Amino acid sequence: TRGEITPALIHHNLGDQDDVALVCLTAAYLHDIGHVTHRSFHELISSLMVKELIYPKLKKIYPVTAKRIQLLSHIQHAIFAHAMDIACLTPEAGFVTIADGLDMTQGRSRKPYDLGKVDIHSISALSITEVEILKGTKKKPIRLNIHMISEAGVFQVEEVFLPKLRSSGLADEVEINTLVNGKPIALSQVLRMYKKF
């Protein structure tokens, strides 16, 4: 419908809102478990590891095998597709990918920074104070307000979040507002400022 994003499970009559929540939450919580093996290809490793963790639990909730397999495949896809170079084929996967990309506020970088890791990733993440996810308009149903204390936070938006948004399949549904100390600033303005140097 106009102004809303219909999850694939509902659109294809494969499940209800509870099933969508199960897919999104499970994928969101477990999307990085493959890091225990290696950062490289962790998205693929995570999507494979999740089967052993989740399938026994799905058996307790869903008596029909076909339903369990459908939900597991949606969970695995949402986990695998959070890689920047993998296209999300469902809105559920897009939600997880966007959420992962928005995990960029100060708390995420505080520990590495305190331990001496001072690079553009830690400095830019320290610049971001808050990410608000709000209901948008009919044209763009998701509105994001990304608050930062300096323009350094633009690196996180440009280099970490935007590639994930592009692969989410939901880029046309999202409005992004960046604010530096409460003042709106266009990403293109900041990029032009940095190109001068």
| Each residue's pLDDT tens digit, 14-59 | 999 999 999 999 999 999 999 999 989 999 999 999 999 999 999 9
Q: What is the pLDDT of residue 113?
A: 46
Same domain membership, residue 75 and residue 13: yes
Asked if residue 194 has pLDDT above 80, the reply is no
172 in a domain, yes or no?
yes
Average pLDDT over residues 99-118: 66
28 in a domain, yes or no?
yes
| Each residue's pLDDT tens digit, 150-159 | 888 888 888 8
Q: Within its chain, how far is the Cα of 156 from the centroid?
A: 13
End-of-domain residue from the set 93, 128, 150: 93
Question: What is the spatial distance between Cα 88 and Cα 94, in angstroms, rounded to a whole number?
Answer: 6
Same domain membership, residue 167 and residue 118: yes
* Predicted TM-score (pTM) of this structure: 0.85
Same domain membership, residue 106 and residue 43: no
Domains in the chain: how many in total?
Answer: 2
Query: Is 87:81 a contact under the CB 8 Å cutoff?
Result: yes
1 in a domain, yes or no?
no
**Host domain of residue 106:** 102-195
Same domain membership, residue 185 and residue 123: yes
Q: Output the CA torsion 114→116→117→122 (10° steps).
A: 30
Q: Can you tell me which residue has the tokens 């708390």? A: 107
Q: Strand 183-184: give its sheet, edge to edge.
A: 128-135, 142-148, 174-180, 183-184
Per-residue confidence band for 192, with pLDDT thresholds at 50, 70 and 90: low
| Each residue's pLDDT tens digit, 144-178 | 999 999 888 888 888 889 999 999 999 999 999 99
End-of-domain residue from the set 60, 93, 126: 93
